Amino acid sequence: MVKRESLMYNKDYVKKGYYMKKIKTVIAVILMAVLSACAPQYNDEKDFKTITVEGGMEIVRYDGVRRDVRIPALIKNMPVVSVGRAFKETYIVSIIMPEGVKSIDDGAFKDCRSLTKVTMPDTVTAIGKEAFSGCSNLAKVNIPKTVTAIGKEAFSGCVNLASVNIPAGIERIENKTFYGCAGLKGVTIPNSVTYIDGEAFSRCDSLTKVTIPNSVTGTGSGVFYNCRNLTGVTISNSITNIWSDTFSGCVKLASVTIPGSVTKIYDSAFSGCTGLAAINVAADNSAYTSENGVLYSKDKTVLHKYPAGKPYVSFYIPDGVTEILDKAFQNCDKLIRITVPNSVAKIGISAIYDCAALTAIDVTAGNSKYSSENGVLYSDTKYILYKYPAGKKEVSFTVPDSVIGFGGYAFQGCVNLKDITIPDKIFDIGNGTFFGCTGLTSITIPDKTVKIGGSAFYGCVNLAKVIIPNSVTGIGSYAFSDCFNLTSVTISNKVTEIETSAFSDCVSLTAIIIPNSVTKIGTSAFSGCTGITGLTLSNRITKIGESAFYGCAGLTSVIIPRSVTEIGENAFKDCTGLTNVTFQGTIRKANFGNRFDYYIDENYKLHTGYKEGDSPFSGDLKTRYLAGGIGTYVTTAPVNGSSKWAKW
């Protein structure tokens, strides 16, 4: 006989088993629901605008609201094979592309600043130009090994991109591919790569070490420009040229070895490498050699580069050197004295540049081309003053009467000089002569001077007044640019052209009279001169260049003479106080707001020409003038993008 307790126990047991099964079933259903909800969901077909291309569909626009996007493999029963410029400047956070996508086209995800995750299938073979440019929150990208082409600027401006893999099928890293990827800490360049184009890794501030494999036979200029934390680089022994600015601004690069294959190093290849203490050269190199880390031609007759980071305070150029190239001594802040032997017959225009501590350049007796006096470098006859050392402490200097001309950048960076007396014989103030002389407060330009060269007084921030004598016929580009305290300038009545940015950002200038000799005002000639309130234009002027008076906020009125036949785009843009403009003549539509443009096609052929650009003026003045012609036009409100003009 079975006891009741046993029966009860068995019934409870059966009951418990039944409920356990029910509970497990419910839990399973719930888990499946949760997992289903958490799994990435495909977007509806209606979220995408598509076009038919070879092999399937290309997505050309995204109309959905979801920020986590998953593209379906089929749209309209056809495979998705390409992603066009559909997501440009959208706020998507993640993107999953389906198997079958072969190309990510130009600008597909450009400026998607919220994008943090990208999933590309193994079917992708090409990533287009600017495809992910400006995706500032993208931290990691896994590029499929099937990709064989990555376009120009594909990842430029991805400032938080810390890691990226370059597939083994890539043969060319295009121009600016990773430009400005400030967070990129490391990159492996595969052996398939044969060419690295200009600025490919420029401004990758976190990049510390790079190996350029032997498969690479050439690079463009500025490839590692301003990679400020780059400490080591191994250069391919197949490269023949090291172009301009390749390592410029790599301030932590301590040493570099030039392989035997290199036959040409451009003069600014290592500009601004202030930590560079040694440039070594492989023994089998036929074009170059080095001695104590200084770079020379193989026969040691040409001094190419003295590393800016060398710790020495003086340097004796070896006997036998006949030429010192441009930028040979640049940013050498520790050098106090340089001695030039009698064998030197040629010194480049800017051979000694930005050497802030340098107080003396001595020339040994017997040199037939150069001489020195009190540490200043002259021609042998003292007709030309080539270089006044930037580190000299004197506050005034009188140029010897024998001097009739200056070498380029003769007084560059002489911050201690406040007053310079120039003899009457000076006929040419060359390019960059007083560049960056921040202490200079006044200067008298002699009556026999005929040319003021480009950047001649650039950055002379304390220069207050300039009289350009009537002997001067030309004012070069950037001649007085960034002279912030320049309040008055008198322009010679023989000047025919005011060149590009000649007075740009001279914010203290209040009035400008352009003499009748001037026929052309160059691009940005007075741009940023916010203090100008009065402007008188030459009655012979024919062209006002692009952005010539851009941002002259104090300008309230202007008369455009009848002689003017062309006004470039943005010539008076952002002149926020301009309310009155008088046109005395007729300017054709084709010449009203045009700009010079150029591009290089896929066959590296240069195309140039003029095309219609932005309006020369803010608001609708362009439209009003082209309709109304000669006369005065006014606006009642300060000029901005929406200002309405009317003929008075």
Q: Are residues 518 and 536 in the same domain?
A: yes
Q: What is the mean pLDDT of residues 2-9?
A: 40
Q: Picking from 25-34, 146-155, 546-555, 587-596, which range would have the lowest pLDDT averaged per residue?
A: 25-34
> pLDDT category, 442, cuts 50, 70, 90?
confident
Amino acid at 380: D
- pLDDT at residue 614, rounded to an integer: 82
The CA distance from 320 to 544, in Å, is: 52
- Looking from the CA of 447 toward its CB, the CA atoms found within 13 Å total 0
Shared domain check, 625 and 536:
yes
pLDDT at 17: 54
| Residue 75 within a domain | yes
Q: List C-alpha distances in Å: 554 to 428, 466, 479, 521, 632.
A: 34, 21, 22, 19, 19
Cα–Cα nearest to 85, from 107, 102, 115, 52: 107
Q: What pLDDT sits at residue 37? A: 42
Strands 405-406, 384-387: parallel, antiparallel or unpaired by DSSP?
parallel
Q: Pick from 87, 127, 125: which is nearest to 105 by CA?
A: 127
Which tokens is 91 given?
Answer: 């706020």
Do 502 and 535 have their domain in common?
A: no
List of residues 6+ apart from 280 with CB closer than 8 A: 255, 256, 257, 258, 290, 293
pLDDT tens sequence across 577-587: 999 999 999 99
CA distance 479 to 32: 74
Q: Are residues 646 and 586 in the same domain?
A: yes
Decide if 93 contacts 72 (C-beta within 8 A): no
Contacts of 38 (CB under 8 A, 6+ apart): none
Residue 611 pLDDT exceeds 80: no
User: Looking at the domain assignment, is residue 449 inside a domain?
Assistant: yes
Q: Is the pLDDT of residue 548 over 60?
A: yes
Radius of gyration of the chain (CA): 33
Q: Two tokens at 22?
A: 């029910």
DSSP state of 33: H
pLDDT bracket for residue 40 (50, 70, 90): low
What separation, in Å, do the N-terminal and C-terminal C-alpha atoms of the chain show? 121
Is the confidence at residue 640, as pLDDT, over 70? no
- Structure tokens that stand for 116 in this block: 């943090």
Q: Is there a domain that residue 206 lies in?
A: no
Which residues constitute the domain of residue 116?
42-158
Query: Could you report the per-residue pLDDT of 381-411, keeping only the tens digit for each?
Result: 999 999 999 999 999 999 999 999 999 899 9
> Which residues have CB under 8 Å from 623's CB, separation 6+?
none
User: Do the domain assignments include residue 353?
Assistant: no
| Whole-Å CA distances, 77 to 21, 40, 74, 80, 152 | 43, 21, 5, 9, 33
382 falls within a domain? no
DSSP 202-216: TT-TT--EEE--TT-
Burial (CB < 10 A; 0-12, 13-18, 19+), residue 389, is: buried
Residues 628 and 564 in one domain: yes
How far, in Å, CA of 257 to CA of 13, rounded? 82
Q: What is the pLDDT of residues 177-196, one digit of tens each?
A: 999 999 999 899 999 999 99
Cα–Cα dist 53/437, whole Å = 61
Q: What is the CATH number of the domain that holds 71?
A: 3.80.10.10
- My answer on whether 520 and 568 are in the same domain is yes
Predicted confidence at residue 25, as pLDDT, reads 53
How far apart are alpha carbons 343 and 332 in whole angstroms? 23
Per-residue b or e along 7-18, where b marks 16 or more CB atoms closer than 10 Å to that residue's CB? eeeeeeeeeeee
Confidence of residue 44 (pLDDT cuts 50, 70, 90): confident
Q: How far apart (Å, rounded) are the C-alpha atoms in residues 117 and 96?
A: 8
Q: Is residue 568 part of a domain?
A: yes
Which of 506, 534, 568 is a domain's end point? 506
Instruction: Give domain status of residue 502, yes or no.
Output: yes
Number of structural domains in the chain: 3
Percent of the chain topping pLDDT 70: 90
Above 50 in pLDDT, residue 32? no
pLDDT at 136 over 60: yes
pLDDT at position 637 over 60: yes
Mean pLDDT of the chain: 91
- What b-and-e string marks burial along 572-600, b requiring 16 or more CB atoms within 10 Å of the CB? bbbbbebbebebeeebeeebbbbbeeeee
Cα–Cα nearest to 214, from 246, 237, 244, 247: 237
> Is pLDDT above 90 for 82?
yes
Does residue 501 contact residue 478 with C-beta atoms inside 8 Å? yes
Task: Tell which wins on pLDDT, 612 or 556.
Answer: 556
Regarding whether 464 and 439 lie in a shared domain, the answer is: yes
Upper half-sphere CA count for residue 611 (Cβ side, 13 Å) = 6
Between the CA of residue 353 and those of 111, 270, 335, what are the distances in Å? Answer: 39, 13, 12
Residues 463 and 475 in one domain: yes
- 428/397: higher pLDDT: 397
Q: Do 642 and 530 share a structural domain?
A: yes
Domain boundary residue, one of 158, 184, 209: 158
Helix then strand count (H, E) for the chain reads 2, 54
Same domain, 602 and 557: yes
DSSP conformation class of 29: H
Q: Is residue 203 part of a domain?
A: no
* Same domain for 556 and 440: no
Place of tokens 């289903």: 36
Domain boundary among 476, 506, 536: 506
The more confident residue out of 10 and 55 is 55
What pLDDT is stored for residue 43 in this prediction?
76
Beta-carbon-side half-sphere exposure of residue 120 (alpha carbons within 13 Å) = 24
Same domain, 422 and 462: yes
Residue 300: other Cβ atoms inside 10 A = 16
Give the domain CATH number at 542: 3.80.10
